[in-house]
A and B are shown apart, each in its own frame.
Chain A
């Protein structure tokens, strides 16, 4: 889950009154935040992926203030009018590469300006958003610029690389676009996202100065915000407009919570002009008490609902009997009525919901196959076979032993060679277990009942999951005859009239393996493991095995609830 080290001082500075770390931790248990270790002033917090706003100090303080009753309501309004002349043009040429663009203009409160603390907070939050919502800048990325030192309108376009002269952020030397894309570490990492052949994305101002090469890097001077700045342009580019708006919505938070005003930035694009208010406007919902009661199981009046929504730091008021809700731009997780219901539940506190037992109109039951399997386990235990639990994923080496009727499927992306194939038989895993017991006393007997995966051309996945039951024995004198004797016992137990047929199982001694078929289907197969495998594994005594296709048996002889007879 996303996490970030946040400054406790800055959190407390954003609260109406400071709180202790203990109170902070206890309060956060009611939220989607998991506080972790503290190092100095920094407390690492982890949040659920839908609440990235809580990974900013201002965002976390806002949540805490609501839960502690120190503040309520959305507390957000934007300036409907753009700053004079501050607008942008989006060239049609960007569409195939990174076709979405939006921006806002931020204005510091009177007597205020960007300070070093806010600058650090914003830069850290920006990188976090790039890594999460931005999907490492592939889906979207943000840029912040010193609006006072720029000349609008701005132009987002695709330009020939040869025309570019660029002074990268944190550099003192201007470079050609070509050299920048060939040498700069960020260009090597993100360059492909902003480049199409010899064309690259640019953001320029009216004086034709490059502000940035999206989504790679800002320019020095024109793309560098500093303490003391009063006006900041925030823009986002991406492949989907929803993601671009999400990014800007999140980035509003640290500024708006410190009293900055947000102005829309109109964007003139190939499909017309957007006035920029859609980025800043709170989204509106109505919430019915009946819906809340239906989902949460508590009856809440419209007034109570409103109180909880205000605690959740949303806008809420009752009009004409309905609760009207406003959601700020940094809460893109709230998409439908059910999301608001959860906000009500969190604000009320999960601890205040009295758990009640649901009426039980159904009768519980194990599946029929599970009841058959319980019988098989009992039979195995009665024959003194120890139950084992071995991994479904086996190594390529074990897959190569055979001891199966079908080849195991391979994984495309195994983590290690030890777990590279999906077993089609339980026997290799059980033989491997015997190999780990060579220092234990003999005789050794083990069984497993579990799933195997087999190819099946008729299934949509091309596979089917069957259940097998396998016995293995390693002992002096063990061999095919032992396995055959087990098969006789099983056939008798399940009342099956069938005999053993010669059948070569890979990985067994030739002529010492067999199968039993019933109604044309293989139900049992058995054999004596080839000494080549046993030598390789240093197993000291011969090994016999038997496999029963539990799924097939259940099909042929469904388990009966009647008491079995002799």
Chain B
């Protein structure tokens, strides 16, 4: 889409230098990049400033950089010295042009010992010295040595020549290889499309504090921006979508008159199971299903409550309560089992603790909290998940009130359809499973609940009808958040979380 005349891209705040660079590149042959040195020569600013402008324009995506790398040879400091004063072997040749001379005599004239060794070696290797006690030339000295020719070529910027000579000079530390990087700049397609013609370089881009001071801005004209131009990515911290959704659930419950309660994650089986009339030999209480904690011995359970629960389990409640209670599980109740320490497997444990301390009606309590099961982790299961647990009790409360509450709760969560099916829990009677309609999965189980059995309420001292429900809220969260894998509730991909759709 073309930009409005006279505008420039949003956030561009082109300086005069940047505008000039863009115009120089636009003036060059289309499609052929300009070398950086060439560009530096065409822009009327110091090279370092131009280089900074190039990098800024590149970061904005308006310039393309093409880099080429080249290897070439240079004289070392020793090489430059040798070229100026002569190689050691050339200096020795000069000393011997007048006739043979003893080695000691030459040493005595201050010839550097290391250079003399090199010179002797080179002349002997080339066959220019006659073996003997004195140093004698084998003939007329050559006008130039191939090493001298090679050094001259390198000085001129040419390659040193034959591999053998080059290797010798490198070994002697006279020349070295250098790598230079060539930079060529061109406009990117976005840069080529920038509207530069409408506004002069003297217009002001960004408003600064300097402009605001002493009302300098009033004397300035500000360039308009292309408000549709691309802009840099902006991230930012967010609440975790799953936890945020859970908090919305809690808000719904608070709105329904429930107060929050939290219980401990590590529980004794007494609270996790026994208090809920779960038989001590129930299969769900095995180490196959619950996670036990090492190195802990469960402590004492309040005596009256323990005795009362034991009596209900064993089917020997106080005589005045017998008519309403079942014969129990008719197995010996073991306190040692009740004391076992486990990670709680249901938030109903929190309900038990709450009712033990709040038996007087009316009450409405909720707990949206973690529970743990010994499940292998896959797309459908995790060891750790949230349950939304609720309990309400008052005189006159009935099963229909429970259905009404569950229906209202699901509607408040944006789930329009719910229907109820019989189910079974050891601690409720009647028990109900609320089914909600999933757009693709059809009816799914989501809202288990029921009226607490007298076997649960009597030991706790609760004397009014009490309804309870415990929702595996993670399943509803998957539906609400559009996820298919329960492991995604632990999403910790920071960029993805930052961009999570509202």
Q: Which residues of A contact B (CB under 8 A)?
A: 29-32, 48-51, 135, 139, 240, 242, 294-298, 333, 335-339, 341-342, 345-346, 350-351, 353-367, 369-370, 377, 380-381, 383-393, 409-416, 418-419, 422, 433, 436-437, 440-441, 444-446, 451, 453, 459-465
Contact yes or no, B261 A358, CB < 8 A: no
* Contact yes or no, B341 A353, CB < 8 A: no
In this complex, how many residues of chain B approach chain A with their Cβ under 8 Å: the count is 96
* CB pair B294 A412 closer than 8 Å: yes
Residue ID in chain A nearest B490 by CB atoms: A389
| Contact indicator A342/B430 (Cβ below 8 Å) | yes
A368 — nearest CB in chain B belongs to which residue? B260
CB pair B372–A362 under 8 Å, yes or no, is no
B267: CB under 8 A from chain A? yes
A295 near B465: Cβ-Cβ < 8 Å? yes
Residues in A with CB closer than 8 Å to B262 are: 367, 369, 465
A414 contacts across to B, CB distance below 8 A: 291
- Please determine whether A297 and B243 come into contact, CB atoms closer than 8 angstroms: no
Asked if B370 lies at the interface with its beta carbon under 8 angstroms from chain A, I say: yes
Please give the distance in Å from A393's CB to the nearest CB on chain B: 6
Contact in complex: B424, A32 (CB < 8 Å) = yes
B383 touches A362 (CB 8 A): no
Question: B268 to A461, Cβ gap below 8 A?
Answer: yes
Give residues in B with beta carbon < 8 Å to A. Answer: 235-240, 242-244, 250, 253-262, 264-268, 281, 283, 287, 291-301, 323-327, 330-331, 341, 343, 362-364, 370, 372, 374-377, 383-384, 392, 394, 397-408, 419-424, 429-432, 451, 453-454, 465, 489-495, 497-498
Known pairs A51-B424, A351-B420, A357-B408; list 4 more (Cβ under 8 Å): A361-B394, A364-B258, A367-B262, A463-B266
CB-defined contacts of B392 to chain A, threshold 8 Å: 358
Q: Is A350 within 8 A of B398, CB to CB?
A: no
Complex Cα distance A50/B429, Å?
Answer: 12
Residues of B within 8 A of A412 (CB): 287, 291-294
B399: A residues at CB distance < 8 A: 295-297, 345, 353
Chain A minimum-CB-distance residue to B267: A461
Min CB distance B455 to A, Å, is 8
Chain A's nearest CB lies how many Å from the CB of B248?
Answer: 13
A390 and B239 form a contact (CB under 8 A): no
Cross-chain pairs A/B with CB under 8 angstroms, 29 sampled: A48-B424, A135-B281, A296-B400, A338-B453, A351-B420, A353-B403, A355-B407, A358-B401, A361-B362, A362-B257, A362-B364, A364-B257, A367-B259, A367-B260, A367-B262, A380-B237, A381-B238, A389-B489, A389-B491, A392-B372, A392-B384, A393-B384, A413-B287, A414-B291, A422-B266, A441-B235, A459-B264, A461-B341, A462-B341
Q: Quick check: A370 and B260 within 8 Å, CB to CB?
A: yes
Query: Which listed residue, B299, B370, B489, B492, touches A437 by the CB 8 Å rule?
Result: B492
Of the candidates A29, A391, A410, the one whose C-beta lies within 8 Å of that of B384 is: A391
CB closest chain-A residue, reference B283: A135
B421: chain A residues at CB < 8 Å are: 29-30, 350
Contacts of A409 in B (CB 8 A): 266, 293-296
What A residues does B430 contact at CB under 8 A? 295-296, 338, 341-342, 345-346
Minimum-distance CB pairs A-B, first 8? A297-B398, A335-B326, A48-B424, A355-B403, A358-B401, A364-B254, A355-B404, A460-B299
- Known: A339-B326, A392-B384, A462-B296. Is A364-B398 also a contact (CB below 8 A)? no
Q: Please, which residues of chain B bring their CB within 8 A of the CB of A444?
A: 494
Give A410 to B392 CA distance when docked, in angstroms: 36
Q: Which chain B positions have C-beta within 8 A of A437?
A: 492-494
Contact B498 A386 (CB under 8 A): yes
Chain B min CB distance to A380 (Å):
8
Partner of B265, one of A333, A338, A357, A453: A453
**Cα–Cα, bound, A341→B397 (Å):** 15
A338 touches B454 (CB 8 A): yes
Question: Which partner residue on chain A sits nearest B430 by CB separation?
Answer: A342
